[in-house]
Structure formats: C-alpha cells, structure tokens
C-alpha cells in the first residue's frame, strides 16, 4: 500500500470518531441529580479507573472533564508518543534490514503526516473503549467544562452545581513551565502541543533528558529531524542506573542525536530569523540553533483554578494535593489520586491509586496506600525498564545486595532477533534469594519488566525462578538465566526467602 | 637483539617490553622542568598524570640499572621543584590552584593549555608518583633530601576539603571560568587512590564519610559467571593498583563481599577474557588469549568499513566490556600490564597478540590502540604513536610482578597507610607495624 493510499484511507472519519468519543461537539451536560455519591474531577487514567470502580459499587457518579476523556495519557502523552516511537523503530529496522539478508528497493523514509494519521487512528481506536458513549451507558453522568469547588460538598461546573457525598480529584499534571529567560516570549513545544503539527521540525532542540525527552529525541531523529538534547545532569534518565543510562547515551548518539550532558540552558533568543538556545557547560558558553524547542523538564500537578480552598483541601504548587495514607485530602469527604497528588507520575499508579481511593471513600474500613511496586519503562531503543529498589537505595538502608546480570548478547532469543543490546540485572538481598528490584535494558524491556513484576508480587525467589520453564528461544529467558546464575553460586545453601518481601522491598524503594 | 620478542623466554621478553616502555620517559621529557609529554605525537602537551607515572618509573629504572640513582634523583628533583615553584593561583593560565594541577600543561612554560580542567584524579596520580619517589630516595644527599622536603610540602598543599565543594564526595575538577566540575560519582572506577591520598593528608584530610559517599554507589554483581565490583574499562582496575598493594587489605565494601580489590582485578581480567572468547560483536582477533578493552585511542568517529561490514567506531574514549562501548579496538599493552594479577593469562595473551599482530609493537613500545577488524590497511587500524599513561603503567606493573618494588615502597608510605585506614581499609600488611 502506498503512503498516499494510507493517507486517503485514513479518513477524516478517524478524527471525527475520536472527538465523538473523547469530547463530542455540541455536547450538552445532563441535568445533575440532587446529589451524587461520587463526583470525579478529571477523566484521565485515574478518573476513569475510579469511575469503573464506582460503577461496580453501584454508586451514582458524575465525571467532570475540561478537555478530553482519557487525559494526557491517551491524548497527549504515552499513547501518541509511543505510536511515533513505533514508526521510528520500524524505520531504523528497515535501514538495518540488510544485516538480516533482507533488501528493499529505494530509501526507507518517514512521512510525518502519515505517521500522525496513524497516531490519530490509534488514539481513536483506544478511545472507543472509554468513550463518552460507553461511560453514559454505564450510568455515569459526564460533564464537560471547568470545575470549581464551591464549598465542602459542592462542585460548580459552568452554571451547574454538583452536590456530592464524596469527591475524587484526579486532575493530573501538565508539562512544567520554566523561568529561563526567553522561553515564554519565543514559544516552545511541550507534550501538550507537539502532536498538533504534521511537519517535522528541521532542527529540534530538546531541553530535558528524562524519559520523555529521550524518547522524543531518538524518535524524531530517526524520523528525520536534526535533534540536540540538552540535559543539565551528568547522565540521561537520572533515576536509572549508570550502566543503563550509558547504553542509552550511545544509542542516542548512534541515531544521530547530538547529546549535551552537564549542560544548562540559560536563555533562548531569536536572531537572524533563527532560534538560539544559549547554554553553559563547565563554564563554557555555547549556542544551539533550532527551528523548534521542546521543553520536557517534568510535570507539575494541576491544582490551580479548582477552588480547593473553598473545599478546605490543602495543596502545594509543586507537590500537589496533600493526601494521607488513605489518599484522603484535608477534607474528609474529598480524596485525590494520580499525578495531582503522587510523586510517582505513572499511568499504572494513577489507576491503582484511584481504585483504592474509591474503595476507601465508601468502605467501612479504609486501606492504606500500599508501597506501590511500580514497573516503569522508557521507550527508547533499547527500552529501559526498572522495578523495585535500586542498589543504591538498598545500600543507603544498609541492605547488602548482590546483582545478577545476564547480558542480552548472551541470550539466544536476543541473538536470533539481532536485538542483543542490553541486559537483565536482578538485585537480590545478599544471603537470601529475595528479589529486591530489577533493571532491564532490552528491545522489549516493557514486557519483560512485567514478568519481573509478577515474580516480585508472587514472592518468587531466585531459587524457584531458576526452575520456572520459559519458552525457548525468548528474550525473557534472560530473567531465568539470571536466576540460574544465582543458583550456580549458591547451590542450596540459602533458605528460601520469606513471604511478603516484595511489599517490603517496595516500601524501602519508596522513600 | 632479535626483532621478534616472542622468541625470547618469558623473563627476557618481559624485560624487553618493560625497558621499551621505560624509554618513553627519557624520549619525551623536557629536561629543563621534568615535564613529560602526554603522547609521543609532535606538540603533545604534558599530562600531569604521566609525570606521576614517570616519577615512579625512574625508581624502577634505578633498580633495573637503566638510570643511575643520581640521574634519576635529578630528573625527579627537576619535576617536583617545577611543581613547587609553579604558579598556583586562580589565574586562567596558572599551572595549578589550591595544590592541585591542570590536566595538561605546556611542555615548556608549564602553564595550563586547552582551557583544560584542574584535575583531581590526575593530580592524585601525580602525587602518588611523587610520594613513591620520596619513599625511594631515602639517602642523606642533598638532592634526595630536597626531593623528600618538596614532596612533603606539595602533598600538604593540596586542599582536599576545598575540592569537596561542600558535598560528600570530591568534585572531579575545577575551572577558573566556571568553577567546580561535577559529574557525580556512580559506581567503581580508578579513583580509589584519589580518596586514599585525600584521606591521608596531614593538612586537609578528607573525612571518612567522603570515601563512603562514593562507595555507597557500588554494585556487587555477578557477571558472565564471575562476582565483581564492575567497572568496564580495564585501566580502572589497574591505575590505583599500580601503587597500592591491595592483597589482603579490605574496605567495608570488600569485607561485605568477601573479596578484595586485587581479587576484583583478577575477576575483571577473567571477564575480559570470557567476553573476548564469546566475542558477541564478531570482532577480528578477539579470543580468550587476545583481549584488553580499556580507555584509549581509537579509529575515530566515522563509520569505517570492516571486513565488508559497516561499523561505527569511536575516537579516544573509555571502552569497556561487557556493557560496552566496544568497537573492536583493544589496547595492545594492557594484557602485559595485568601480569601481577594473572601472569599466565597476561603472558599467553601478549604472546598470541605479538605472534599474530607484530605491528602493535614499534621499537619495543606498544601502540595505544589497535583495531584488527578495520581492514582498510593491511595491518588493521593502529594508533599513531604511544601514550605515556600506557607505558608508565606497563613499567610499574611489570616491576610489581618481578620484584613488588612499587608496592613495597608504598606499603611503607605514611600518607598511604593513613589514607587507607581513614577510608576504612584494614587487614593484611596494613595491620603490620610500619
């Protein structure tokens, strides 16, 4: 199929369907009930998970959203970016195809317009299962508009007032702004705006070397932009360990990304029709020319304009809404979940915390927020994933750790695939077979880390893991091989690990 | 002498290689100020670390009869006197500041070049060489007494507390243009001697918490079937070890791991060999008896054709295995530099390299880097000239294997003993009365 056919085939209908699902044109808000059991503010991953949980409890629910159902994750974040990543990976694979004895005629290249069309189609498809229509079919009253608390148990949405027994604030977070001179005047892209256009910036400067900056840098470089990424720390992905971050640095460089570590952006200006990013690195000044600038320096909770004061809900601008261990705010009838109140701003945590908040709001006995054991992944090539404790965190708590590493270049499944860059590193409590955490760098680390999540939740130690059959050949066999290495060293000298240790490990990792 | 050193027996071959390496320090020295060039290339500046290696190598040369004691003392005195008198201020063209020195200096004026950084690790290697010389030159003669006085003063001048820049660990460097350089300390590397010397200072001693703030970032890892405190480039397992005899002494980390830094280097060698045997990237030459991936010169950043395959190569960079980066470039000298840790592997590796690729040795000196996978030239890619660090490390390590001279001298060095103890090392020779 030609690119043109893809484009024409991707009917404008995709976009129509999408909008119909996430924010229909000419929407009329329903007439509010006298009182709702639960009013949910924000229909992102947390708000939707809360709604689903509340439906199961048979509650009357109002769901208020100011933009689109699905929140950042679906509309501006994970979903659209990962669609672009897929196209970038495919293009890189095609350029590499000759290694596999596969030739294609012509030059593999990307058409960003077509990539964006695919992105919109996928977004629309995913939106279907959480569409306004479906929410309404579940008996949820969906309100679009800006919401403000008007009192301890009232929410104002436009001209309508929603009274509630309980409320959940799940307004999420947005890209953090900067005070670096020039940014506001000259303008910049963030994850909230980058998916608007269909044209690839010729020269793109990315400020911020976290997961978002790195994913975007590699992907847009593969798709054809000249990308420079500026990070003010000694490594990319500061949360991840050295060996992972270094592999990522090299992989960015291999794809033609110009990497600037230990470099601080001090200003942005326009000169000669170009944008310039002024930087300082070890006292040396430099300037980077760019057609577009992307700012990815973190996320800030959406706490403003919500009338939280009127509802007696305490919050701080950077940390977000204050919640207790039960996810309850300073107003005992109002709970919060997801990015607006949690340090770990991940879709999976947002959903889990929302389910817990709903349960706590209506159960006789409240459950504490557990120490979430969070698998997370940066979707670069290779992907970089982590769960549980880092060695450094363990050592700071005087826990002796022995890490068992399998290089992907020694895993048959990865060798066969030609995707043998990376490693699986499982951190084990010394003197036992208890798994405290793991880092995976591999093309499919996002999947492999989920196996480790199950292993840790299931309290499976290295001894049992070594005997668990894995399909052959497979990249995830690296996980079993790490356990085999553990057993080769320990024989049967160490007793099996006690139960409930995964939760304890996560507890330590949290602080 | 035969051209082919491999026909010599082990002892004779090692002697030849050691002497060949030592010749670097008489060939690329400025006799006026005792500075030594970083590389053999024309217009190379001085590297202060290479001076540190040179000062230790003079000691070896006296023991071997290659230099007279008087000649070695005078060469040493020139260098330490230069550093003592050099401009030590915050001016951008000084030689040093706060008792530390710029990484690269003009061979003649001795002043900072290339706007380089005031380097903590390179100053440590320089001071280690000075202390080694001060331990060796123990006679009452005026030059030797003066060496000891100057080294004492130079060591006392280094302000380690300043270099902490109010943080737990040390900064890696400082520049007059922008202040401290801090790349963070994550994981093991060659800097043990830096913290030991900082801890041993009689004037500005680092607190024990400083070494601990670095070692908290260590990982005890099982890798390719070996337990190791991992660091990729092989030199990181050798630099501190050139001066410090780590056999039997342990810090807190190694006590917990039931290993020591000598044994750890043996593991690093085993991993290098195992990686080369598996040779996952299919590089030419690699095998259990041909290995040695470390920091050094490389073929350059351009894509180069190798045996019909495109490969991306690096210029001068810190290479390591198994995590990479590895572009098929090995350091031909480094196998021989591991002699005191695993003599059998070092000899087998060096012999097989020289038998197969004799071009890596010129005038009995190893080139810095060699990449046999790159076939544009029949010889493979060869680094131009030699690097002083490589030659110095080789001279010292061969001597440690032959007589243990450097290790023995440094075991008696009060600042080293103090610094090791302050960093939490104990056991073995450290518990003996000096």
The mean pLDDT of B211-233, rounded to a whole number, is: 97
Encoding tokens for residue A445?
């680390």
A404 interfaces chain B, CB cutoff of 8 Å: yes
The mean pLDDT of B157-167, rounded to a whole number, is: 96
What is the predicted pLDDT for the residue at A430? Answer: 96
CB atoms within 10 A of CB A430: 16
**Distance (Å, whole) CA A336 – CA A327:** 6
Mutate to test the interface with B, among A98, A241, A250, A283 (most CBs of B within 10 A): A283
B219 interfaces chain A, CB cutoff of 8 Å: yes
A392 interfaces chain B, CB cutoff of 8 Å: yes
Closest-CA residue in chain A for B309?
A99
The mean pLDDT of B241-247, rounded to a whole number, is: 98
Closest-CA residue in chain B for A283?
B178
Q: Do A282 and B181 touch (CB under 8 A)?
A: yes
Q: Which residues of B touch A384 (CB under 8 A)?
A: none
The mean pLDDT of B164-175, rounded to a whole number, is: 95
**Distance (Å, whole) CA B323 – CA B236:** 15
> In the predicted model, what is the mean pLDDT of chain B?
95
Closest residue by Cα to residue A262 from B184, B415, B111: B184
pLDDT digits (tens, 9 = 90+) for A303-359: 999 999 999 999 999 999 999 999 999 999 999 999 999 999 999 999 999 999 999
Closest-CA residue in chain B for A488?
B225
What is the predicted pLDDT for the residue at A495? Answer: 59
pLDDT digits (tens, 9 = 90+) for B281-312: 999 999 999 999 999 888 886 645 454 444 56
Q: Which residues of A touch B175 (CB under 8 A)?
A: 282-283
Q: Which residues of B touch A416 (CB under 8 A)?
A: none
What is the predicted pLDDT for the residue at B308? Answer: 45
Is B273's pLDDT higher than 50?
yes
Strands A203-207 and A226-230 turn out to be: parallel
Residues A70 and A43: beta-carbon distance below 8 Å: yes
The mean pLDDT of B134-161, rounded to a whole number, is: 98
Q: Do A241 and B177 touch (CB under 8 A)?
A: no
Q: Which residues of A touch B182 (CB under 8 A)?
A: 234
Q: Do A489 and B227 touch (CB under 8 A)?
A: yes
B45: distance to nearest CA of chain A, Å? 21
The mean pLDDT of B110-139, rounded to a whole number, is: 97
Closest-CA residue in chain A for B277?
A410
So what's the ipTM on this one? 0.94
Closest residue by Cα to residue B404 from B336, B332, B341: B341
- Of the pLDDT bands very low, low, confident and very high (cuts 50, 70, 90), residue B118 is very high
B317: distance to nearest CA of chain A, Å? 12
Of A242, A247, A420, the CB nearest to B187: A242
What is the predicted pLDDT for the residue at A493? Answer: 61
pLDDT digits (tens, 9 = 90+) for B57-103: 999 999 999 999 999 999 999 999 999 999 999 999 999 999 999 99
Q: Apex CA B57: angle with CA B53 and CA B62, to 5°?
A: 160
Closest residue by Cα to residue A503 from A389, A377, A359: A389
Q: A325: part of which helix (H) or strand (E)? A: none
Alpha-carbon distance values, A366 to A165, A335, A369, B43 (Å): 16, 12, 9, 74
Strands A226-230 and A258-260 turn out to be: parallel
Which of residues A499 and B19 earns the better pLDDT score?
B19
Q: Which residues of A touch B227 (CB under 8 A)?
A: 402, 489
Q: Which residues of A touch B325 (CB under 8 A)?
A: 250
A409 interfaces chain B, CB cutoff of 8 Å: yes
Q: Do A233 and B184 touch (CB under 8 A)?
A: yes
Mutate to test the interface with A, among B221, B267, B318 (most CBs of A within 10 A): B221
Residues A171 and A155: beta-carbon distance below 8 Å: no
Is B372's pLDDT higher than 50?
yes
Measured in whole angstroms, the distance separating CA B104 from the mean position of its chain's CA atoms is: 16
Of B177, B278, B325, the CB nearest to A284: B177
Closest-CA residue in chain B for A233?
B183
Query: Dihedral of the CA atoms A138, A144, A150, A154 (nearest 10)?
Result: -10
pLDDT digits (tens, 9 = 90+) for B310-369: 456 777 889 999 999 999 999 999 999 999 999 999 999 999 999 999 999 999 999 999
Q: Which residues of A touch B326 (CB under 8 A)?
A: none
What is the predicted pLDDT for the residue at B307? Answer: 47
Of A262, A403, A415, the CB nearest to B222: A403
Q: From the first residue on, what is the mean pLDDT of each consecutive set of 10 residues in chain A (511 residues)?
A: 52 81 95 98 98 98 97 90 96 92 87 92 94 96 97 96 98 95 92 84 96 97 96 94 95 95 95 91 91 95 97 96 98 98 96 98 94 96 98 96 98 96 98 97 98 98 97 98 96 60 60 50
A291 interfaces chain B, CB cutoff of 8 Å: no
Q: Strand locations in B60-187, DSSP E? A: 96-97, 100-102, 104-105, 118-119, 173-175, 179-181
Mutate to test the interface with B, among A409, A419, A423, A439 (most CBs of B within 10 A): A409
Which of residues A316 and B375 earns the better pLDDT score?
A316
Closest residue by Cα to residue A334 from A161, A158, A152, A171: A152
**Distance (Å, whole) CA B151 – CA B129:** 10
Of A282, A395, A485, the CB nearest to B225: A485
């Amino acid at each position: 199929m030609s690119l043109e056919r893809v484009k024409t085939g991707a009917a404008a209908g995709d976009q129509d369907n999408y909008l119909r699902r996430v924010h229909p044109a000419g929407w009329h808000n329903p007439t509010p009930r006298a009182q709702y059991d639960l009013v949910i503010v924000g229909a992102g991953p947390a708000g939707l998970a809360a709604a689903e949980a509340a439906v199961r409890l048979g509650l009357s629910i109002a769901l208020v959203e100011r933009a689109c159902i699905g929140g950042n994750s679906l509309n501006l974040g994970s979903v659209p970016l990962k669609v672009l990543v897929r196209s970038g990976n495919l293009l890189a694979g095609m350029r590499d195809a000759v290694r596999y004895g596969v030739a294609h005629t012509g030059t593999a290249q990307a058409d960003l317009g077509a990539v964006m069309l695919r992105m919109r189609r996928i977004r629309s498809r995913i939106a279907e299962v959480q569409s306004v229509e479906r929410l309404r079919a579940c008996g949820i009253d969906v309100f679009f508009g800006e919401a403000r608390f008007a009192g301890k148990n009232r929410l104002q949405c436009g001209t309508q007032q929603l009274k509630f027994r309980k409320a959940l604030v799940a307004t999420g977070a947005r890209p953090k702004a900067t005070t670096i001179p020039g940014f506001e005047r000259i303008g910049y892209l963030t994850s909230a705006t980058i998916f608007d256009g269909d044209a690839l910036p010729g020269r793109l400067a990315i400020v911020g070397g976290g997961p978002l900056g790195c994913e975007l840098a590699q992907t847009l470089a593969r798709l054809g932009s000249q990308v420079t990424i500026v990070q003010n720390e000694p490594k990319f992905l500061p949360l991840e360990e050295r060996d992972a971050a270094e592999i990522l640095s090299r992989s960015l460089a291999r794809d033609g990304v110009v990497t600037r570590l230990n470099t601080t952006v001090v200003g942005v200006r326009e000169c000669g029709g170009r944008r310039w990013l002024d930087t300082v690195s070890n006292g040396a000044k430099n300037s980077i020319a760019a057609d577009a600038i992307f700012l990815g320096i973190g996320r800030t909770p959406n706490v403003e304009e919500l009338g939280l004061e009127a509802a007696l809900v305490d919050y701080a601008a950077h940390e977000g809404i204050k919640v207790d261990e039960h996810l309850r705010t300073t107003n005992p009838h109002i709970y919060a979940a997801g990015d607006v109140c949690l340090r770990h701003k991940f879709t999976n945590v947002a959903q889990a915390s929302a389910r817990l908040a709903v349960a706590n709001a209506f159960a006789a006995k409240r459950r504490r927020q557990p120490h979430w054991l969070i698998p997370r992944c940066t979707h670069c090539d290779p992907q970089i994933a982590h769960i549980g404790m880092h060695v450094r965190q363990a050592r700071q708590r005087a826990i002796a750790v022995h890490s068992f590493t399998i290089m992907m270049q020694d895993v048959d499944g990865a060798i066969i695939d030609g995707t043998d860059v990376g490693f699986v590193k499982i951190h084990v409590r010394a003197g036992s077979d208890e798994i405290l955490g793991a880092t995976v760098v591999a093309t499919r680390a996002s999947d492999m880390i989920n196996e480790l999540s199950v292993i840790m939740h299931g309290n499976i130690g290295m001894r049992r893991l070594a005997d668990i059959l894995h399909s052959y050949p497979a990249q995830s066999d690296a996980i079993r091989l790490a356990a085999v290495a553990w057993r080769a060293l320990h024989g049967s000298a160490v007793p099996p690990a006690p139960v409930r240790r995964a939760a304890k490990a996560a507890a330590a990792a949290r602080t | 002498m035969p051209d082919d050193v491999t026909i010599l027996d082990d002892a004779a071959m090692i002697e030849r290689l050691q002497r060949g390496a030592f010749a670097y320090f008489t060939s690329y020295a400025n006799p006026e100020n005792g500075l030594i060039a970083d590389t053999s290339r024309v217009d190379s500046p001085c590297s202060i670390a290479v001076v540190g290696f040179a000062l230790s190598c003079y000691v070896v040369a006296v023991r071997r009869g290659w230099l007279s004691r008087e000649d070695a003392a005078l060469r040493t005195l020139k260098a330490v006197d230069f550093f003592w008198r050099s401009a030590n201020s915050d001016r951008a063209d000084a030689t040093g500041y706060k008792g530390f020195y710029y990484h690269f200096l003009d061979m003649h004026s001795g002043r900072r070049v290339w706007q380089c950084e005031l380097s903590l690790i390179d100053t440590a290697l320089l001071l280690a060489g000075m202390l080694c010389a001060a331990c060796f030159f123990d006679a009452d003669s005026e030059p030797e007494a003066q060496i000891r006085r100057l080294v004492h003063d130079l060591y006392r001048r280094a302000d380690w507390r300043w270099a902490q820049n109010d943080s737990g660990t040390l900064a890696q460097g400082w520049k007059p243009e922008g202040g401290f350089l801090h790349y963070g300390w994550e994981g093991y590397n060659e800097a043990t001697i830096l913290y030991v010397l900082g801890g041993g200072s009689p004037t500005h001693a680092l607190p024990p918490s400083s070494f601990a703030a670095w070692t908290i970032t260590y990982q005890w890892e099982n890798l390719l079937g070996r337990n190791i405190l991992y660091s990729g480039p092989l030199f990181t397992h050798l630099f501190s070890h050139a001066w410090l005899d780590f056999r039997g002494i342990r810090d807190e980390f190694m006590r917990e791991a039931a290993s020591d830094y000598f044994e750890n280097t043996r593991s690093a060698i085993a991993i290098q060999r195992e990686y080369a045997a598996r040779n996952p990237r299919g590089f030419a030459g690699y095998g259990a008896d041909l290995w040695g991936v470390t920091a050094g010169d490389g073929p350059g950043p351009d894509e180069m054709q190798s045996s019909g395959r495109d490969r991306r190569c690096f210029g001068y960079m810190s290479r390591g295995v198994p995590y990479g980066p590895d572009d098929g470039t090995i350091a031909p000298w480094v196998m021989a530099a591991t002699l005191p840790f695993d003599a059998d592997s070092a000899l087998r590796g060096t012999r097989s390299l020289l038998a197969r690729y004799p071009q890596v040795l010129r005038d009995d000196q190893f080139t810095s880097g060699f990449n046999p996978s790159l076939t544009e030239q029949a010889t493979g890619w060869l680094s131009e000239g030699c690097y002083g660090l490589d030659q110095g490390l080789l001279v010292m390590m061969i001597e440690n294997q032959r007589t243990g001279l450097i290790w023995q001298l440094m075991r008696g060095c009060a600042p080293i003993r103090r610094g090791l103890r302050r960093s939490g090392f104990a056991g073995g020779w450290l518990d003996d009365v000096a």
